[in-house]
Amino acid sequence: MDLLTALQGGFGDAPDALVIDGRQLSREQLLGAAGAVAARIGGAQALAVLARPTAETVVAVVGGLLAGVPVVPVPPDAGPVERGHILRDSGAQLLACADGPVAGGAGARAGAGVGGVGGTGHDALPAVEALPVDLAERYDARLPEPAPERPAFVLYTSGTTGPPKGAVLSRRAVAADLDALAAAWAWTAEDTLVHGLPLFHVHGLVLGVLGALRTGSRLVHTGRPTPEAYAKAQGSLYFGVPTVWSRVAADESAAQALAGARLLVSGSAPLPVPVFERLAELTGHQPIERYGMTETLITVSTRADGERRPGSVGLPLAGIATRLVGEDGEPVPSDGESVGELQVSGATLFDGYLNRPAADAEVRTADGWFRTGDVATIGPDGFHRIVGRASVDLIKSGGFKIGAGEVEAALRDHPAVADAAVVGAPDADLGQRVVAFVVADGEVTGDQLSSFVADRLSVHKRPREVVLVAELPRNAMGKVLKKRLLEG
């Protein structure tokens, strides 16, 4: 079966089948423009896409999928260090972009710039050819459907312990996940999906764009996920992260405007119970919560026709198996109280980290299960509750997953920084905010360091708070005691 079923007919079409930040596209227009992209990139090793929230981004992504070329989304606010790593590591020689030059670029040479991830060198970024995307282009010939085992995406993880790793997701895994979610959420062509999430990760791109192109639902991407935009869109199905829902819940009129929706879905981080309850009060809808990772896609969710408990992510999707394992490697009972590392198995799992077999081996058990690194409980009725990370190095802020190691490496590139440790501190709005503890051997301010990180990485990865300290607490092995930083 085709991955993008709705583009092959059978669901009807309309001039506003897709609305991306106010611009309308029919599915026929999308298919024609994406076909033109596909015809130009056939045989490429990978297609990087500067994933701004635009119709051109959607056309470029679909073009890569039609051509069977792995799509590599690049955060639009990525600085030269992060962008250079993604382009170099993925081997992409084409970068699709439409609305102006890439930050730090020079003319058509989209990769121009300097820097190296996690280092202090000034190696030139790889030369990448800019691939313009024109919504008026058309290519009407039907392209053969690539094999289901072909990679659909290389999605870069948050770089918990260093530079981000590229997770390779097959077309088969994407299709399996979208079909399982459609069943769990009763998601059909009758829906209008609304969200304003970024288009460079699983939530906004795979679920939020490809989901509509597989189920046949109408899609409205609001550009930015503001309460006002969500209220105006009049959708039946809404996606958001906890920060979005927190802001919606704080805007009574916007929340009440969602009363006509069918389903509100929250993910990417735990939804605070007060936000869950306030949404239910104002909209009449208890939100759906779900759980997943870049490497696994979405694996656990509450159901459209089932119970929704605050703080719970529900039951495994069809085709997914889960288990809890203790630190001793032994099974943990599903009693709702005992805590263990959550491990998953099933058709939605990634194929591995690009060119990193050692890293891949670290997250696979001997019997083939994926180690999520998340700690959870499972009740006797199968309901899952995510307790937290087994590590403190993954920060979930405003729906983004931010690797502490990547931010630390960027801070250490500053000439006035001798050492740095980054943690996630609780934040009522963002879930967690990025806090950096910095040992400086020169005169520098917190604002200067925050701006330095924002210029080199993505803006959302900048420290919201910088604490200058004389030294970092360490154990006998030299490891920074981050929990002590959080407690202090």
Model confidence at 106: pLDDT above 50:
no
Task: Tally helices (H) and strands (E) across the chain.
Answer: 13, 25
Find the mean pLDDT for residues 158-180: 90
Nearest-angstrom CA–CA distance, 138 and 29: 8
Q: Are 384 and 447 in contact (CB under 8 A)?
A: no
At 175 the three-state DSSP class reads: helix
Report the 3 state secondary structure along 14-80.
Answer: CCCCEEECCEEECHHHHHHHHHHHHHHHCCCCCEEEECCCCHHHHHHHHHHHHHCCCEEEECCCCCH
- Least confident segment among 88-92, 158-162, 213-217, 289-293: 158-162
Burial (CB < 10 A; 0-12, 13-18, 19+), residue 362, is exposed
Model confidence at 458: pLDDT above 80:
yes
Query: At 141, is the pLDDT very low, low, confident or very high (cuts 50, 70, 90)?
Result: confident
In this prediction, residue 140 carries a pLDDT of: 85
List, edge to edge, every strand of the sheet that includes 340-346: 320-325, 340-346, 370-378, 384-389
Q: What is the pLDDT of residues 230-256, one digit of tens each?
A: 999 999 999 999 889 999 999 999 999
At 187 the three-state DSSP class reads: coil
In this prediction, residue 159 carries a pLDDT of: 62
Name the residue type at position 27.
R
Model confidence at 105: pLDDT above 80:
no
At 257 the three-state DSSP class reads: helix
Q: Mean pLDDT score of the chain, rounded to an integer? A: 90
Model confidence at 485: pLDDT above 70:
yes
Burial (CB < 10 A; 0-12, 13-18, 19+), residue 174, is buried
In this prediction, residue 120 carries a pLDDT of: 36
Find, among 166, 140, 137, the residue nearest to 153 by Cα: 166
Find the mean pLDDT for residues 34-42: 95
Structure tokens at 118: 């996690």
Mode of pairing for the β-strands spanning 263-266 and 237-240 = parallel
Q: What is the pLDDT of residues 304-335, one digit of tens each?
A: 999 999 989 999 999 999 999 988 889 999 99
Phi, psi of 319 (to 5 degrees): 85, 0
Find, among 400, 403, 363, the residue nearest to 162 by Cα: 403
User: Residue ranges of the alpha helices (H) in 289-368?
Assistant: 357-362
In this prediction, residue 108 carries a pLDDT of: 40
Q: Is the dihedral of CA 243, 249, 253, 258 positive or negative?
A: positive
Mode of pairing for the β-strands spanning 192-195 and 218-221 = parallel
- Least confident segment among 89-98, 292-301, 395-404, 470-479: 470-479
Name the residue type at position 314.
G
Query: At 404, is the pLDDT very low, low, confident or very high (cuts 50, 70, 90)?
Result: confident
159 or 466: whose pLDDT is higher? 466
Q: Are 370 and 295 in contact (CB under 8 A)?
A: yes
> How far apart, in Å, are the Cα atoms of 104 and each of 112, 124, 150, 218?
7, 11, 32, 36
E strands along 347-415, which residues? 352-353, 370-378, 384-389, 394-397, 400-403
Q: Are 432 and 425 in contact (CB under 8 A)?
A: yes
Residue with tokens 């906890």: 242
> Considering the entire predicted model, what is its pTM?
0.83
E strands along 106-165, which residues? 129-132, 151-156
Find, among 6, 34, 396, 460, the residue nearest to 193 by Cα: 6
Model confidence at 102: pLDDT above 50:
no
Instruction: Find the length of the chain.
Output: 488
Model confidence at 363: pLDDT above 90:
yes
Q: What is the pLDDT of residues 254-283, one digit of tens each?
A: 999 999 999 999 998 888 888 999 999 999
Q: What is the pLDDT of residues 26-37, one digit of tens each?
A: 999 999 999 999
In this prediction, residue 124 carries a pLDDT of: 55
For each of the domains in the chain, give its residue range(s) and CATH number, in order of start: 5-185 (3.40.50.12780), 394-487 (3.30.300.30)
Query: At 218, is the pLDDT very low, low, confident or very high (cuts 50, 70, 90)?
Result: very high
What is the Cα gyration radius of the chain?
A: 22
Residue with tokens 């073009």: 63
Query: At 220, is the pLDDT very low, low, confident or very high (cuts 50, 70, 90)?
Result: very high
Q: Are 278 and 439 in contact (CB under 8 A)?
A: no
422 or 477: whose pLDDT is higher? 422
Nearest-angstrom CA–CA distance, 382 and 378: 6
Query: At 109, is the pLDDT very low, low, confident or very high (cuts 50, 70, 90)?
Result: very low
Measure the N-to-C terminal CA separation of the chain; round to a whole number of Å.
55
Residue with tokens 């490429």: 44
Residue with tokens 């500067």: 50
In this prediction, residue 103 carries a pLDDT of: 42
Q: What is the pLDDT of residues 43-101, one digit of tens each?
A: 999 999 999 999 999 999 999 999 999 999 999 988 899 999 999 999 999 999 865 44
Model confidence at 144: pLDDT above 70:
yes
